[in-house]
Structure 1
C-alpha cells in the first residue's frame, strides 16, 4: 500500500511546464497558470478556494469549492472582487467583475526546480469593507528571492462578510470564516505548486493585519500557519471588533431604508436576506469620529463553526492561543490616514472633543465622558484649540487611538502570556517623495508604509535611491522572518534584534540605518493605559435571537400555557 500512496502523491503534485504555461493538479482538478509579464514566475488567478453561498444563505459560512475535469485556465481576464461600494472599483471600468461568489485565490510561483518552498499568504486591508486580493502584489519580491510562493485572495466584505446577528442563518464573521477556509485550501493544495504546507507565513496590512492577529487567536485557524506579520493594526483597535453588532445592523438598515421594520432580530434578518447586494453596498460608510467602522468581526455565540467565541482581550489575558513568532509594528505617523478630514474635524474636535473618544471606551455618564475627553485633549493639545499650528498633535492623537496604543497594549499582553518570540518595530523612513504634513515642513511614514516597501511599486521607475535601499532592507527582514521566524538571524549583516521583553524593550526603528531602541512611545503609551484599564468596553458574544431562538420562544410559550392551565384548574377545583 505504501508504494501506491507514493505513486498517488506523485500524480497529485505532478507539474506540466511548457514555456509560458504551467499546469498543476490540485484537489479540484487541473489548473493552468501563465508566465507573469515580468518573467521569472508563474501566476495563477481567480482559483475558487471555496463557494460563496448566495440568496438567503449569503451570510452563512463558505461552502466547498467547485471541482472540474477540464483544465481550469487561471488567467486574469478580469479581477474578481467581492461586493463593495461601486465608487471604489469604478476608477478602472471594465477591469473588475463583482460577484457574490467571489472567493478566489491568486498564486504566484517562482521559476525554480526547488520544492517545499516557503509560503507567504497575504490578507488585504480596506477597513473590512473594501479591497481585493489582487490589489497589491509582491512579484518583485518573489523574483528576487526565488524561494517562496505568494498567495493572495478575496474574502467577503462589509455587510456581506461581517453582518452579525447571532442567528443560524446570520451567525457572523463570514469574512473571517472565508479566511480560515483559504488557509485550509493552502494546506490541501499548496504542495501541488511546489510549496510547503508546514512553512506558511501569514501577512496582512491594516484590516488584513487585524485579521492576521485574530486568526492567531482563533481556535478555528490553529495549525494552519506558522508565523505572523501583522502590519499596522491588531485585535484591540477600536475598529476591529463590533461592540454591539445587532444595534449596528439596525442603524445601517435605517440608513438604507428609513421605513425598514427592524425592531427585533427576526425582522432584521429578514430585511438583510431580502435586500439586494447592490442596495446594501450603495452607501459609502461615513467617516465615524469614534474610530470605529460599521461592519467588522464580532464575538459569536459558542456554536459549531464559530470563529471567535470570546473577546480578543479575554484570549490575550488568558494566553489561550498558539504563540507563533510574530513580527509586529506600525509607522510613526499612522494618523496621517485621517489627514484628509483635518479641515472638517479640527472644528468638530474643538466643539465637542468627546465625540472623538474611541468607541471601545464606555462611561457611566456624559459628565464622566467629558472629563476624560478634556484630559485627553489637554494631553495632546494643552490649552490650545486644535488648529493648523498643532496639526502634528492631531496626527499623534489618531496614530495612538487607531493603531499604536492598541498594538502596544497587545504586545504587552503577548509577553505577559509567555509569548517569547515577539519582534517589535516602528517604521519611520521618509524620502523626498513623501508628502509633507500640511502646514508643516515635516514628513512622516503614513499608514502601512512598511507594506508598500516590500510590495511592487505602484508606479515603476518613480522611486528614489533611498527608498530602493529601504525596500531592500524591509524585504530582507521580512524574508528572514519568513524563513527563520526571526527578523535578524545569526550571520546576518543587520543589527542584532532581540525579542520583546517584559520590560517593553527593545524595539527596532526601521529607517535607512536600523537602530535598536528601548521602550516604544513610553509617554503616550503610559497615558492611555490607565484610561483603558478603567473605561475599556469589552466585546461580548452577540445574543442568540430571531431564527436562532425558536426553541427558547417555544419553551416560553409552553411555560405560559402551563401556568395558565394551573391557575384555571385551581379556580375550577375551588
Structure 2
C-alpha cells in the first residue's frame, strides 16, 4: 500500500513542481507535457500522431496512434524516418509531431503547419522552425515527420504497396491537428499550411485531395508544385522496376515478386542509391506522390493534378506562392557533366511530363528549346546563366505558373504570386560570372528561424518584410489586409499578373517571366501528357488497416531509439478516448488524496 502511495506521491510532485517550466495538455491519446524554452514558448516534441505499419506492411497507410495513461514527456528524441545519411536516431515507426506554443493566455490561436521538403527522400519536422513567428504570441506552429523515399512513395497499386504512404501520413497528421490543436490553444478552423520544394509539392497535392476537405484553410507554397520536379510521378511502376534493377533484382516484370522484393529488402539497401532517385536529367523524382489505383482502400490522389485543377474538383482556399529567380542553381553541382550531355542529346533534358508521338518530333522540340535558351552555340561555361534559367523554368517556375492559370480559370482561386530575387553583398556570384541571384527556397529560409548575426541591414529588413507578409496572410488570408503599411499585393489573374517582385526594391509588376512563360505555354499546350493513369482495378477485395504494428527486420541498420524511461509504453487499443484517459488520470489523483486521510 505504501509503495503505491509513494508512487502516486512522486507522480503528483512531477505534475505540480515547476508549474511554469512544464505545461500539461490532454490529447485524445492521453496527457502530454511540454517544456518552456527560451523565447517564451512551450515546445512539445515527438508526440506520436499515428503509427507506421512495419515489417511486410511497411508501405501501407498509417495506423491509429498509441495511447497512454500517465503523462507523456514530449522531449526531443530527434526521431527521424529512414533516409540517407543513416543516423542512429532513425526508426521505422517515425510518425511524430512537434508543437511550438506561445506562453500566453489567449486561446483559439491560428495554427501554422510546416511540411518539410527534401525531394521526398530526406528531412524531418524540425529541419525548419518558426519560433520567431510563435514569439509574436499570436499563433501556434506545428511540424511533423512523414515516411520518405521508397518507404513513403513506393506505388505498385497492390494491397501491400498501394502508394502515397507518405501523403497519407500527412493527411493523418492534419486529422490529428483537427482533433487535438484546441487543447493546446489553437483554432482547428484556422489552419495554414506552409512549405517549400517537395514540401510545397505535397501541400499542392493536399489542396487538390478530397481527403483533406475541412482540414486547413490557407496554404503558402514556395518553389514546388504537384507537377514538374516536385510533382506526381509519371510512371511509378516503371520507376519501381528500374530502381529494383539498380539494387540487383532482375525479376521485375512479376509484380508479386517485385512487391516481395521491396517488402523484404532492408532499409539500408532501399536508401543506398539516392542518386538513382533524384537529380535526373528529365527533372522528375522517381519516388514521389502518384495517382493511385482503386483497390478498395482510401485514396488521396485519384486523378492527375492537372485534371483535378481543370475540372475544378477541389476545395478552393487562399494561396500565396512563388519561386526564386535562380531556382536552377540547385543543378550547379552537375554543370560540368551535364553541359556535355546537353550538347550530345538535349532531348534527355526535356521534362518527363511531355509526351511525343515519335522520337523525331521529340528531337525537333528539343532543338527549339535548346535554341531558345542557348542560341545556335554549344552549351559551354559561357552559357551558365542560360543553364540556370533553363532549370529554373522547368524545375519549378513554369509548372507553378501553369498551375496558377489553370486554378484561376477553373474556380477563380485567390493566389498571391511572387518572385524572390533579393541579393546583397553577402550573396555570392555564380561560377564563371559576376551574376548573383536567389537560389532554391531562399525566400522560405528568410521567414524561418535563422542566425542574422553578420547579415546586412538590407537583408534584415527583407526578413522583417517577408515575415510581416507571412503573418498577415496567416491571420487574414491576404498579405496586405486593410491597414497594412507594406506595398499592396493583390491576387493574380489567369494571365499571371500582377505579382510581387521581392528584390532589393519591392515592386508590384506584370507579366512574370513573360517571354519564357509564353514559350513553354506553346510547348505544353501541344505536348503535355502528365502521369500515366493506373489501369482499372482487378480485385474487389477490401482490406482494413487494423493490423497491429510488428517489429521489422532491421538487423542490418540501426533505426530504433530506446524509449526514455519517463515515456509510458503505448497501449495497444487505439480506441481509448480522451474522456477515458482523463477519468483514469483523475482517479489516480483521487486515490492519492484519499490515502492521506
Give the ranges of 4+ consecutive aligned residues of structure 1 lying more than 4 Å apart after TM superposition: 14-17, 548-551
The count of residues paired between Structure 1 and Structure 2 equals 524
Q: Which residue of 1 aligns with 2:110?
A: 118
User: 1:98 aligns to what SS in structure 2?
Assistant: coil
Q: Distance in 1 between matches of 2:396 and 2:495?
A: 21
2:154 is aligned to 163
Residue 507 (structure 1) aligned with residue 499 (structure 2):
yes
Task: Give the whole-Å Cα distance in 1 for the aligned partners of 2:260 and 2:46.
Answer: 32
Equivalent in 540, 544, 555 of residue 532 of structure 2: 540
Q: Contact conserved, 1:233 with 1:403, CA < 8 A, in 2?
A: yes
- Rounded to whole Å, the distance in 2 between the matches of 1:137 and 1:193 is 18
C-alpha deviation, 1:315, in angstroms: 0.4
Q: Which residue of 1 aligns with 2:258?
A: 268
Quote the Cα distance in structure 2 between the aligned partners of 1:380 and 1:531: 14
**Alignment-derived partner of residue 180 in structure 1:** 171
Give yes or no for contact 2:133–2:139 (8 Å, CA) kept in 1.
no
Unaligned runs of at least 5 residues, structure 1: 1-13, 91-95, 552-574
1:42–1:261 Cα change, 3 Å: same
Q: 1:534 to 1:186 in 2, by over 3 A?
A: same
Give the TM-score taking structure 2 as reference length: 0.85
| Counterpart among 333, 336, 359 of residue 329 in structure 2 | 336
Contact 1:130–1:157 at 8 Å: present in 2 too?
yes
SS of structure 1 residue aligned to 2:436: coil
Match of 2:236? 245
| Pick aligned residue for 1:516 from 497, 508, 514 | 508
| Counterpart-to-counterpart distance in 1, 2:472 and 2:453 | 26
- Aligned partner of 1:80 in structure 2 is 79
CA contact (8 A) 1:298 1:541 kept: no
Rounded to whole Å, the distance in 2 between the matches of 1:16 and 1:193 is 20
State the alpha-carbon separation in 1 of the partners of residues 522 and 121 from structure 2: 32
Query: Per the alignment, in what secondary structure is the counterpart of residue 516 of structure 1?
Result: strand
Distance in 2 of aligned mates of 1:262 and 1:466: 55
Counterpart Cα distance in 1 of 2:392 and 2:345: 20
Secondary structure in 1 aligned to 2:162? Answer: coil
Quick check: 2:406–2:494 contact (8 Å CA) kept in 1? no
SS in 1 for 2:228: coil
Deviation of 1:377 after TM superposition, in Å, equals: 0.3
| Change in 2 beyond 3 A, CA 1:239/1:499 | closer
* Post-superposition CA distance 1:48-77 (Å, at most 9, x none): 00000001100000000000011111111x
Q: In structure 2, what is the Cα distance between the partners aligned to 1:462 and 1:170?
A: 49
Q: TM-score, normalised by structure 1?
A: 0.89
Say whether 1:320 aligns with 2:313: yes
- Partner of 2:320, secondary structure, is strand
244-253 vs 505-514, which moves further: 505-514
SS in 1 for 2:275: coil
Q: Secondary structure at the match of 1:509?
A: strand
Pairwise CA distance, 1:255: 0.8
> What is the deviation of 1:35?
1.5
The CA RMSD over aligned residues, in Å, is 1.7
Q: Map of 1:68-467 to 2, 5 A cutoff? A: 68-76=68-76, 78-86=77-85, 97-143=89-135, 145-257=136-248, 259-286=249-276, 287-302=279-294, 303-457=296-450, 459=451, 461-467=453-459
In 1, Cα distance between the equivalents of 2:372 and 2:221?
29
Q: Aligned to 2:419, what secondary structure does the other structure show?
A: strand
Secondary structure, counterpart of 1:175 in structure 2: helix
SS at match of 1:228: strand
Higher-RCO chain (CA-CA 8 Å, sequence separation at least 6) = 2
- Unaligned stretches of 5+ residues in structure 2: 1-14, 542-597
* Local SS of the residue matching 2:126: coil
